[in-house]
Structure 1
C-alpha cells in the first residue's frame, strides 16, 4: 500500500504521525510505470523497492497525500516504499542505511532529506493549510524544528490550559467587534481578521478559547508569533502580565482577545502604553481589570484616540470610559446632535454608548426612523429621550424587522393600541424580546393556569415587565406559594401582577408569616408595596421591622 505523509516531530524517539494508507495514481507521478528500463530511476508498480531515493525525493508531497492507483494495480505494502531511501540519505557526510530503522525514523529522515527540515509537515499537523504552512515556514527558516515544536507547545499551554475562560474570551471578542469605530491600525486589523475567520466557522467566536478550533487561525493571522523567542520574549511576557496584577488564569483570555500583545516588546511597547493609561487617570491597581475586559486599549489606535475621548468628556475618569475608548469622537458628535433634540446631555451619553456602542454606526436617518415610530405611538421627545437612556438598544434595532413586528404581535394578541404607550414606557425592553422564545411562552403559561386572554392583557398593561420574567425561576415558585400556602385566588395576581417582581424569600414569605401570625388579612398590594418602615408601622405597631420572623407551621401552632 502507499502512504500518507506522516506528521513529524523533531527526533526519531519522539515522532508522532498518522499514516493514512492510500493508493498512488501512476499517471500523476514524474515517471511512468510503463516506461522501459533505462539508467535513470523508474517506478515499477509491482516492485515498490525499485523506487530510487532521487525519484522519491522528486515526488510531490501532495501526490503522497491524495493520489490513488487506478483499477488493476496491486497495492504497495506499508514499508515497501522505504527500502530505496537507504541509498540516498546523508548524515554527517556518511550514507545512512535505513533498512533497519522503524517507520517513524524513516519518516524523520525523509523530511530531513527533502530540505524543509520537517517544518512543512509539522505546521500542517497543527492544523494549518498547506498554502499557509508554506508561507509561515519562510518566517521560520532560520529556526530548527525542535525549537518550533517546543514553542508551539508553550504557546498552546499559555493560551489554552486554563479552563472556564472560553465564554469570557468569546464575549470580549464580540465586545471588541461591536465597540470599535475608529481607524484600525495593523494590529487591530489583524485581530478583526482573526475574529472574522473564527466567526465564519461552526461555533463562531465561542470557539475562540478552544485549541483545535482557533490555534491554526491564530498562527495564520499572526505568523510572526512563532518567530519570537520562548526564553527571551514569550516567557518574560507571561511574567510581566502576572506582575501587572493579571491572574495567570486570565492571561489566556487577554491574549486571545488581542493577540498582538504576544508580539509587543515589554520595554518598548507594553510599559509605555500602560504608563500612558496612568497619566490618563487610571490607577495602577485598576489597569489589570481594564485589560481583562478591554485588552485592545493597548493598541496604537486607541492610545492615539483616548486623548480625544477624554477631551470630549471633560472631567470623566478614563476607567469609566473604557467601553468607548475605541469609538470615534466624530461619530459621537454626529449622534449627539440627534440625542440633544431628545434632551440627552453629553454626560448621559456615556452609559448610552457603553450599553449600545453600535449606535455610533447608525446612520442618522435610521436613528430617526425609530424616533418617528415612537412618535406615532404617542411619545413626545422628552419621553423618547428617557426611553433612549433606559434601553438604547431599541435605537439600534431594525424598525421593520424587529420593532414593528413586536408591536403587531402585541396588538394581534389583544393588547389595545391605546395601551401600548404605557406598556412600552414602563418596559421598553419588551420591544426587543423574542416572540417565539420569550413573549409567547409566558403568555401561554399564564393562560394555562386558568387566566383568560383578556386577563393576561390586563396584567401586561398593569405591569409589562411581567413578560421578561423566567417561568421556571420566577413565575412558577411564586404562583405555587400564592395558591398553595397563601390560599389566595388567581384574580389577585390579575389585579396586582407586580407581585411577581418581589423576592419570594426576602419579602413575600416573611411578610406573609407576619400577617398570618397576627391574623391580619390584606390584599397583595397592601402587603408588598410598602417599604419595611411602612409595613412595620402599619401591621406591627413599631417603627421598623428589625427581625424577619420564622414561619409558623401547623404542627407547632
Structure 2
C-alpha cells in the first residue's frame, strides 16, 4: 500500500500525547506540505481526501501546534533512538479529530532513516501492513553505485549499441558485457571523451575497462575536484589515473579521505601528499589499520626515529605496503647478521629507506657474495654498506668482476690492493671505465708512472672521480709552482687531491710560510689535521708527531655524511661528497 504521512494533533481536553512524524520518500511529489517547523521538520499530507477537508483556519492552528510540539521533540534528532525503549512505550491514542478525519497512525522518523518506529494503538492487519512496508525500506542509505552486475536481459539488449560503439573505438569489451552501461550511445561518447581528456588512451582504458562504468558527474568529477584541491598538477592526475584507474569510482569521503588523514598523521606534509599518491597510488586501496600501521610500528620499534617517519614515507611510500613478517623483518635481520648493529641499521633505513625494496635473495645476499668473491674481507662489509647502502641493490654479477680485472690490468695492482680500494670506496666498482681512464691518462701526462698511479689510486680511490679541471690540475699546479714541491710528493699522500684548494691548502701554506717560519713538513702533516691541531703544530705544542691515519668505519659509531659531523674533521668533506656520487 502507498505510504501516508501521518500527523496527529492533541486534544487539550483529553490531554493526549502528541508526536509528529515524517516519512517522505524520493518519489512523493505532493503539494500540501507544511514547513513551518523550527527544526526543519517537514509535515506532508499525502491523503488528498483528508487534506481537502481541512479548512484554512484549522490548518493554521495545526501548524502552530505542530511547531511548538516539534521543539519538544528536537532532542530525538540529537541522540540515536533506542528501539527497545520505544517498543515499551504505551501506544498513542488518536484524538477525536483524527478519528473523525480518518487519519493514519502517527510515526516518528530519524533524518538519516537509520531507525524507524511506529507508535500506534491500531491493531490487526493495518498495523502489520504498515510495519512490513516500513521495514522493507533500506535501513542505511548510501550513494548508489553506477555500475554493477546486470541480471536483466532488457538492459543487455539496450546496451548492444553501446558495445558496438566501443568496439569501433578500439575498446576491449569482453569485461563490459556483464556490467551496467548506459543505454544511450551519446552518454558513452561523453564518458569516453572525458577519459581521454584527462589523459587515458585506449591502452590505459583496456587495462581497466570497468572505468567506462563510472558516471562522469557522479563519480569522476567529484574525485578529480578533490585531487585538484589537494594540489595535484594536471599531468600528475593523468599519471595517477593511469596507475590506479579504480580511483575514478572511489568515494571521496569513504575511500580517499581516511587515507589522507592517515598520511597526515604520519607527519607527511600536505604539499607532499600528491607526490606520495602519484608514486604509490595503491595506498588508496589499503586499510589504514592493516599493513600500513604495522609496518610503521615495526620500524619504530627497532629504532627508527619517529621524527624520520614522515621523511621516509615521503621518499619511499612503498614501505606502507610491505608486510613485516615476509618483507621488512627478514631484511632487517640479514643486515644485522652481517655485523651491523641494530642502531646503525635503523639509521641506514632512515637515510636510505629504499633499500627495503631490494630483493633479499637475488640482490642483497647475491651482491654480498659477489664482493666476497673478488677478495673483499667479510669484516669490511658492514663499513661498505654503511658508507654506500646502494651497493646492496646494484647489479654486481658482472660489474664487480669486470672492474676488478680492469684495475688489475690498467694499474698493475694485486688482488688484495684492488679489494682494499673497493673497501675504502665501494662506488669504485660502479664507475664507468671511460671516466677512470681519463684520470689515469691525465696523471700520466703529468709524468706519473703506472706504478705511482696504482699506488695513489689504491690508497685514495676518490682520485678516479675527481674533476680534472677543477681539482686535479689546479691542485697539482699549486703544489709544483707555489709550494715548490715535487709532483711525486702526492704519491705518498694522494689525499692531497681531496682537500679544497681555497678552503684548506692555500690558508695552511700561507700560515706555514708566514713570518720567520720556514718549516719543512710533509703534506700529511700540513693538511691531515684540524685547524686547532694545526695551530698547536705551528707553535710546537702538539703532542701528536706521527702522521694521522685516515678515517675508518667504527661499529656503532657515526655514519659518514651525518649532519652532526664536526667541522674540524681530519679529512675534508669534499672526499665524502665525492664518494657519495
- Identify the TM-score tier after normalising by the shorter chain: 0.5 to 0.7
1:295 equivalent among 256, 260, 280: 280
Distance 2:375 2:176 in 1: 59
Q: 1:287 to 1:378 in 2, by over 3 A?
A: closer
Query: Aligned pair 1:282/2:264, yes or no?
Result: no
2:310 matched residue in structure 1: 319
Shift of 1:477: 5.2
**Residue ranges of structure 1 left out of the alignment (5+ in a row):** 1-113, 124-129, 157-213, 546-557
2:361 matched residue in structure 1: 362
1:503 matched residue in structure 2: 500
Shift of 1:291: 1.6
CA distances 1:392-444 after superposition (whole Å, capped 9, x unpaired): 4434455642322222222223122232343222112222333x344333333
Q: 1:283 to 1:367 in 2, by over 3 A?
A: closer
Distance 1:328 1:470 in 2: 44
Q: How many residues are paired up?
A: 364
Shift of 1:271: 0.3
User: In 2, are the aligned partners of 1:278 and 1:284 still within 8 Å (CA)?
Assistant: yes
TM-score (norm 1): 0.52
Shift of 1:300: 2.8
User: In 2, are the aligned partners of 1:446 and 1:456 still within 8 Å (CA)?
Assistant: yes
CA distances 1:266-319 after superposition (whole Å, capped 9, x unpaired): 21211011223345x335647627626743362435853222313432444343
**Residue ranges of structure 2 left out of the alignment (5+ in a row):** 1-159, 541-566, 569-581
2:527 matched residue in structure 1: 528
TM-score (norm 2): 0.50
User: In 2, are the aligned partners of 1:426 and 1:465 still within 8 Å (CA)?
Assistant: no
CA distances 1:522-544 after superposition (whole Å, capped 9, x unpaired): 65434433334444665699xx9
1:418 matched residue in structure 2: 416
Shift of 1:371: 4.0
Residues 363-378 of structure 1: pairs in structure 2 closer than 5 A: 363=362, 367=365, 370-371=368-369, 373-374=371-372, 377=375
Query: Aligned pair 1:265/2:262, yes or no?
Result: no
Q: Which has the larger radius of gyration?
A: 2
User: In 1, are the aligned partners of 2:417 and 2:458 still within 8 Å (CA)?
Assistant: yes
2:460 equivalent among 448, 456, 463: 463
Q: Normalized per residue, which structure has more helix?
A: 1
Distance 1:260 1:484 in 2: 69
1:19 matched residue in structure 2: none
1:332 matched residue in structure 2: 328
Higher RCO (C-alpha 8 Å, min separation 6): 1
Q: 1:225 to 1:500 in 2, by over 3 A?
A: farther
1:341 matched residue in structure 2: 337
Shift of 1:369: 7.3
Distance 2:216 2:525 in 1: 69
SS of 2:408 mapped into structure 1? helix
Residues 116-515 of structure 1: pairs in structure 2 closer than 5 A: 123=169, 130=170, 132=172, 142-144=185-187, 147-148=190-191, 151-152=194-195, 154-156=197-199, 215-225=201-211, 228=214, 233-244=219-230, 260-279=246-265, 281-282=266-267, 285=270, 288=273, 291=276, 294-296=279-281, 298-301=283-286, 303=288, 304-315=290-301, 316=304, 317=306, 318-319=309-310, 321-322=312-313, 323=316, 324-329=319-324, 330-350=326-346, 351=348, 354-363=353-362, 367=365, 370-371=368-369, 373-374=371-372, 377=375, 379-380=377-378, 382-397=379-394, 400-413=397-410, 414-434=412-432, 436-471=433-468, 474-476=471-473, 478-479=475-476, 489-508=486-505, 511=508
1:550 matched residue in structure 2: none
Distance 2:166 2:475 in 1: 63
User: In 2, are the aligned partners of 1:394 and 1:432 still within 8 Å (CA)?
Assistant: no
Q: 1:134 to 1:255 in 2, by over 3 A?
A: closer
User: In 1, are the aligned partners of 2:227 and 2:237 still within 8 Å (CA)?
Assistant: yes
SS of 2:416 mapped into structure 1? coil
